[in-house]
Structure 1
Amino acid sequence: MASVGSFLAFEWPPLLRKIILTLLLAFIVFRVVRAIPKLLFALGGASAKADQPTAAFESDAVARFWLWRISLIAGFLLFGWTFVSLMPDLGFSIEVTRLAAFLIGLGILATAVEVVWRRPGKPASLVAKSLLTLYLVVLWSAWVAGLLGLMWLGIYSLLLPALVRGVGDVAQAFANRITRTGAVGVMLNVLIVRGARAVVIAAAVAWLAYVWRIRAAALAGSETGAIVISGLSNGIIILLVADLLWQLSKALIAYRMELGPKDGSNADELARGARLRTLLPIFRNVLAVFIGVVTVLTILSGLGVQIAPLIAGAGIFGVAIGFGSQTLVKDVLSGVFYMLDDAFRVGEYIQSGSYKGTVESFSLRSVRLRHHRGPIFTVPFGELGAVQNMSRDWVIDKMTLNVTYDSDVDLARRLIKKVGQELAADPEFAADTLQPLKMQGVDSFGDFAIVLRMKLMTKPGAQFTIKRRAFMMIKKAFDENGIKIAVPTVHVTGGSDEAAGAQQALNMSKAAELAAKAPVGP
């Protein structure tokens, strides 16, 4: 501001005014270029020193090395450009001006080669350093030959990945200092990190498009090359915007999925959390497809392609696929209605026909079931049919028990009730027991036992463990109180005297039958 004020305070001769203005612009840009790496190293170095204080001197040495080299290259580039641009006005010939530019380019090349061979950090092999040096010489040769577009493309391929990665790391370190939490914090983190990378890439693409547009118009003598280059550059910008939107959406969906109900939440919150974990991945996939399709169509439109016929053709193609792929359409639509009906969620155990298992994940056309023995079923929605959900709200397990006919049924009822109360009071089962185990009464009189019927109401999935423990406790209580569990038996009775008497009665019965059939005499 002081320099600009001093410049505007006086009247300068035209030539001197141009010289001072050009030098002032180069000086200001040089200070800005020098300040940017200082800021980046300060932000990155603060995090590194906080994590590893012993590496403070090493990070300072690396910062000094790169700051000096960046300043040297910026000085060659800016002040060299200033000097070369002013030489024709000072009376120098074109040949001398080109020689000065050539020498300045040699200085930049020498600095870059020195960076390759002396840069700190992980040491590179001799072959890698030699190849990188040759690559720099080729770029310098492209500049000498006037192939500016090719030169900038080579520079970007060499420096842009490292620059984007470094800017992203610094942006992440800056984003970590933001104290905002919740969805706003997630959005700010994505906007800062991905936005910083996108700005770097967009600036590089804009400059490259500017250089190529000039070269294309000069070489071709028309605007065709400029239109194509403009479309490609705009396509890259559209891709960056689409990537930013996708990262924002994905981060918000992941944040919402992690924001599930904690232990101790009520049943409604648990059900809502399970429903969101089921629907959000499907919504994320649909959103990814939508963003991808819109991005491709926008890029094609920017390149001059008429997308209206494509959209119409896609509609006709979609109708043809609909007729030819009825099973696929049936699967997708069935899945949509299953989701709308909230028939099942991720983590629930369901059964449909011969398929049963825990729901692990969804796709647009199928559900993934994990059987309790390990196998995985991938079932299309169209083949599910009626679904039996075994993980909703509560479950009633009814059991039967056989006791002998000489058992005290009333005592058995009291013992079963006591076992149910003990299980309901047990901390291991109390949270899962909705109604304690109790005996409903005598179910039937069997051939060898009295059949007792019992009922237990628990949360889904907990009935198996509680039932096994209940049977163990009932067996122990029955043994202690003389109640026997009935089992099928075969009783064989009688001896030799009884057998002889039975045989004699049988013979007498046969003799009486024969006497009744004999004819009567006159």
Structure 2
Amino acid sequence: MTPRCLLLLIFALLMPFQSAMAQAALDPAAQPASVAAPPAEDLRKLVDLLQRPDIQAWLQSQTASRQVETQGSAEFANAREIIVGRLNAARAFVHDMATVIPTLPAELDRARVALMTEMRDQGSFAAVLPLIFFLTLGFGLEWLYWRATSGFRKRMIARHLDTVDDRLRAAGSRILYGLGVLLAFAVGSIGAFLLFAWPSLLEHTVLAYLLVFLAVRLTLVAGRIVLAPGAERFRLMPMATRTARFWFFWSAVLVGSFAFGHFTFQLLPTLGVGREANYIVALASGLILFGLAIVALWRCPTFDGLDLVNRRHRVGTVLGTLYIIANWLVALAGVAATFYIGVVLLVLPIAISCVNLSVHHIMRPPGTIAADEGAPSLTGAALERGLRALLLIGGAYLIASQLGLDFGALAARDTMVTRFIRGLLNAFVVVLLADFTWRMASAWIDRKLMLTEGDADESRRSARLRTLLPIFRNMLFVVLFAMAMLMALSSLGVEIGPLIAGAGVVGLAVGFGAQTLVKDIISGMFFLLDDAFRVGEYIESGSIKGTVESFSLRSIKIRHHRGALHTIPFGSLDKITNYSRDWAIDKIMVSVTYDTDLDVVKNTIKEVGKELLTDEEIAPFIMETLKMQGVEQFGDFAIQIRMKIMTKPGEQAVIRRRAYALIKKAFDTKGIKFAVPTVSVAGGGDASNAVAQKALDLIKPPPQTEQAAQGA
């Protein structure tokens, strides 16, 4: 399930709870009212009555019957009644808002009068002077910062962006510079704000719209870093300049509209505006915000800047428009939290997509315009998964704050629904952290495995890594999955102690019932600890020999040199003979005639050994070249000469074939004859022919006839 679908599912699950919270918050009848205390004499009589056993028994019976009746009525409540109740509540809320609209101008004018009265009491000049100093100091510090960092900007502009490291350093430098600009203005303005004693209402007003201004400035700084509308070479997202300029402008407009409406909604109660009137102002600001969002959605260009999005993706544009309208209509029905939750669920997938595109664009190989499918980058995985996890966790906590959920200790007033939602959000965070850890470890393992696929020497040195890392990855996945599941269940309120105890008992029973499986796993662990074989090595076990292709926790796969694939459990492996370690010595035997000069043979074989070392194809695999060890034995018709050569494992067959060819050529040049069995026959006639035939039969027996084969 994608993060966007998961967020929409959470939104759908929280809708009824949001509605109930909002209606309860806006219902005056739900607010506690103060009641006068009864006389002391009446309270004393009541206490005396409650102490009587018959009264207590009667109260308990009445309470039990009332609980049964309440439970029965709740069980028989159908969905239609619930829906009708919600619609009636929404209709009543809209009616109440409509009755307040005529009084809205008077409410806002009262807030203005209160603010102006406070400023007149303070003195107009005394109230405006701190504001002027406030702005002057903020922009002054920003200008000083801009002058002080002129050299840094020149070096940053002249920086090369050819490699991934260069692009990462450039992005980091631009982020630090942008944050420095924002921090300079913030320090100056907030410092000036703290220096003066502001009137109460003016202080709240200035602080609210200072935060609006900082939100817009932060958006512009982020836009210059990510979109870079005036510097395409520094752009983090792969898009055309037209598209970058469009979203640079509209992102500031949308963020500014949202921040203005949000902080105004929080400021108006301080100025004396009623709750219903304040909510109407919030609806109006939300309507303006969603109207701007719809305009931006229908006017935005595609990434290549050649067309509009609504022309290429008409269905997606229409669905996005309907989502925005539906979100505002739900807020109109009185569910205030839904407005903010809808904004979070709308912005969060867009932010995640922007992060993924930016990371892939930064991590692209040098000289390319897109990321490849090569070795995964640990830095790229950390940036992508880490930023995505931070965005999702931040979105989850924003949703929780709108629902009024406390992630600390459970309070006595918490309902079952509240605890379930809190546990669901905590489990969501646990899953995200587990996913981040797994992606980081998996990227590191995959990169190590891909980097080991080099030449023969590198592959041989890294064979142990290629053998152990896949098993380590599988074990890590199982451990992370089990830990994440247990922590998620614990967050949801499930007691994991009995589960762990039950898993131990089940594991013990499985261990007794699957002794062969346990034997295979333990044997495999000891084989790996002993480093008996690695992937790519040629081994022999019993009657099976071949190249190790892969193995799991239980078995090993061996490919025979003729193509057969053997899958052998570790517990069934006999002694292991490894033909691929360190070096291999190959023995070569040749037979020469008895009249051969052995000194000439020795010198000739030495020349062949030198010639093998000059062969560029096989010379790197020769550790000790060909040399003559001496006479092995005197045969019936030849002298057997024994030679030896030391090669790297797996290369001896190729080198042996090349050595045979050079020996044949060198012996022919030196006049050295190879000995072959011969028969000399004296005499003539039939006797000589019979002797010759007998000699041939001794050398090569005749094939059996069909009758002889059947008799055998």
Distance between the aligned counterparts of 1:410 and 1:227, measured in 2? 95
Distance between the aligned counterparts of 2:464 and 2:426, measured in 1? 40
Change (3 A) 1:270 1:104: closer
Residue 37 in 1 paired to residue 37 in 2?
A: no
Distance between the aligned counterparts of 2:529 and 2:268, measured in 1? 75
Distance between the aligned counterparts of 1:210 and 1:383, measured in 2? 59
Distance between the aligned counterparts of 1:47 and 1:198, measured in 2? 28
**Structure 1 counterpart of 2:533:** 344
Conserved in 2, the CA contact under 8 Å of 1:433 and 1:458? yes
Change (3 A) 1:448 1:63: same
Letter in 2 for 1:392: R
Conserved in 2, the CA contact under 8 Å of 1:213 and 1:226? no
Shift of 1:85: 4.2
Residue 101 in 1 paired to residue 101 in 2?
A: no
The 5 Å alignment of 1:216-365 reads 222-253=414-445, 273-365=462-554
Change (3 A) 1:294 1:462: same
Partner of residue 393 from structure 2, selected from 198, 202, 212: 202
Residue 137 in 1 paired to residue 325 in 2?
A: yes
User: Unaligned stretches of 5+ in structure 2?
Assistant: 1-186, 304-308, 365-376, 689-712
Which segment is superposed worse, 329-338 or 190-199?
190-199
Which segment is superposed worse, 421-430 or 461-470?
421-430
Which segment is superposed worse, 256-265 or 204-213?
256-265
Change (3 A) 1:47 1:293: farther
Shift of 1:491: 6.0
Change (3 A) 1:172 1:151: same
**Structure 2 counterpart of 1:180:** none
Shift of 1:144: 2.2
Letter in 2 for 1:35: V
Which segment is superposed worse, 245-254 or 324-333?
245-254
Count residues in correspondence: 480
Change (3 A) 1:292 1:119: same
Give the aligned CA root-mean-square deviation in angstroms. Answer: 3.9
Conserved in 2, the CA contact under 8 Å of 1:448 and 1:486? yes
**Structure 1 counterpart of 2:314:** 126
Distance between the aligned counterparts of 2:237 and 2:419, measured in 1? 50
Residue 212 in 1 paired to residue 212 in 2?
A: no
Change (3 A) 1:259 1:73: closer
Change (3 A) 1:414 1:12: closer
Change (3 A) 1:308 1:357: same
Change (3 A) 1:51 1:128: closer
Distance between the aligned counterparts of 2:219 and 2:500, measured in 1? 47
Shift of 1:229: 1.7
Shift of 1:92: 5.2
**Structure 2 counterpart of 1:68:** 249
Distance between the aligned counterparts of 1:354 and 1:213, measured in 2? 70
Change (3 A) 1:16 1:353: same
Conserved in 2, the CA contact under 8 Å of 1:153 and 1:208? yes
Conserved in 2, the CA contact under 8 Å of 1:175 and 1:193? no
**Structure 2 counterpart of 1:163:** 351
Conserved in 1, the CA contact under 8 Å of 2:225 and 2:236? no
Change (3 A) 1:13 1:455: closer
Shift of 1:454: 2.9
Letter in 2 for 1:164: I
**Structure 1 counterpart of 2:151:** none
Shift of 1:343: 1.0
SS of residue in 2 equivalent to 1:369: strand
Distance between the aligned counterparts of 1:12 and 1:47, measured in 2? 46
Which segment is superposed worse, 343-352 or 386-395?
343-352
Conserved in 1, the CA contact under 8 Å of 2:236 and 2:362? no
Conserved in 1, the CA contact under 8 Å of 2:229 and 2:245? no
Shift of 1:394: 1.6
Distance between the aligned counterparts of 1:49 and 1:349, measured in 2? 51
**Structure 2 counterpart of 1:182:** none
Letter in 2 for 1:227: R
Shift of 1:163: 0.7
Distance between the aligned counterparts of 1:43 and 1:345, measured in 2? 53
SS of residue in 2 equivalent to 1:202: helix
The 5 Å alignment of 1:384-463 reads 384-404=573-593, 407=596, 411-446=600-635, 449-463=638-652
Change (3 A) 1:416 1:13: closer
Distance between the aligned counterparts of 2:658 and 2:405, measured in 1? 84
Q: Larger relative CO (CA 8 A, sep 6+): 1 or 2?
A: 2
Distance between the aligned counterparts of 2:235 and 2:200, measured in 1? 52
SS of residue in 2 equivalent to 1:222: coil
Q: Percent identical across equivalent pairs?
A: 44
Partner of residue 292 from structure 2, selected from 111, 114, 139: 111
Shift of 1:371: 3.8
Conserved in 2, the CA contact under 8 Å of 1:213 and 1:225? no
Shift of 1:396: 1.6
Conserved in 2, the CA contact under 8 Å of 1:350 and 1:391? yes
Cα deviation 1:192-212 (Å, max 9, x = unaligned):
443322221211111112223
The TM-score normalised by the length of structure 2 is 0.59
Change (3 A) 1:227 1:16: same
Which segment is superposed worse, 22-31 or 390-399?
22-31
Cα deviation 1:159-186 (Å, max 9, x = unaligned):
323311323444677789xxxxxxxxx8
Distance between the aligned counterparts of 1:104 and 1:375, measured in 2? 73
Cα deviation 1:313-339 (Å, max 9, x = unaligned):
111222222222223222221221111
Conserved in 1, the CA contact under 8 Å of 2:227 and 2:236? no
Which segment is superposed worse, 226-235 or 360-369?
360-369
Distance between the aligned counterparts of 2:257 and 2:288, measured in 1? 7
Letter in 2 for 1:389: N
Conserved in 2, the CA contact under 8 Å of 1:231 and 1:302? yes
Distance between the aligned counterparts of 1:32 and 1:433, measured in 2? 65
SS of residue in 2 equivalent to 1:138: helix
SS of residue in 2 equivalent to 1:197: helix
Cα deviation 1:121-176 (Å, max 9, x = unaligned):
15323333223222222222222234466666655554323311323444677789
Shift of 1:458: 1.9
Which segment is superposed worse, 301-310 or 127-136?
127-136
Conserved in 1, the CA contact under 8 Å of 2:208 and 2:264? no
SS of residue in 1 equivalent to 2:497: helix
Which segment is superposed worse, 311-320 or 158-167?
158-167
Conserved in 1, the CA contact under 8 Å of 2:341 and 2:402? no
**Structure 2 counterpart of 1:467:** 656
Distance between the aligned counterparts of 2:578 and 2:256, measured in 1? 73
Change (3 A) 1:48 1:15: closer
SS of residue in 1 equivalent to 2:650: coil
